[in-house]
Amino acid sequence: MNNDDATKLANRALDIMFFNYPIRSAVGVVLGLIIWLGFDAYPVLFELLRATNGKSTKFFFSLIGYLLVHSKTVIEGFTGKILSEDMTQTLSFIEKTGLSKAQKDLMYVEAVTKYIKALDKNDLEEKKKEIAED
């Protein structure tokens, strides 16, 4: 694996962790901020955790809080079942409707088809940009 491939892989991982799930990211940032402020408000937490009193410790535990919120994202990434938040919400809305199974199946097919077409357009645009850069 060359540096270019590693960079693309790292960028994709960052996209998944920060941009595909904006609600999870926002909740994770809020939790991280609460943890950070908790260490400021209660310095005894450093002693309980046997950690040094510093910004690096606060950052580490804030990052752990952020990753805990994104644990579902990490699990979905490893199992290959990762979808964007919009697609997940769409499928959830279809499931909650009071329609028959056949009607829900048609709506699933339509939603997935639209999602795939949007991905195809985005992939084509990305390929054009890559070719233009080379």
82, 16 contact by CB (below 8 A): yes
Digit-coded pLDDT (tens) for 89-117: 888 888 888 888 888 889 888 888 888 78
Mean pLDDT, residues 121-131: 69
Q: Using CA atoms, how far apart are residues 72 and 48, in angstroms rounded to an integer?
A: 28
Mean pLDDT, residues 44-62: 86
Mean pLDDT, residues 17-39: 84
Q: Using CA atoms, how far apart are residues 107 and 14, in angstroms rounded to an integer?
A: 31
Mean pLDDT, residues 32-45: 88
Mean pLDDT rounded to a whole number for the chain: 81
Determine the pLDDT at residue 31.
92
For residue 80, is it left (φ>0), alpha (ψ between -120 and 50) or beta?
A: left
Q: Which two tokens stand for residue 116?
A: 């795939």
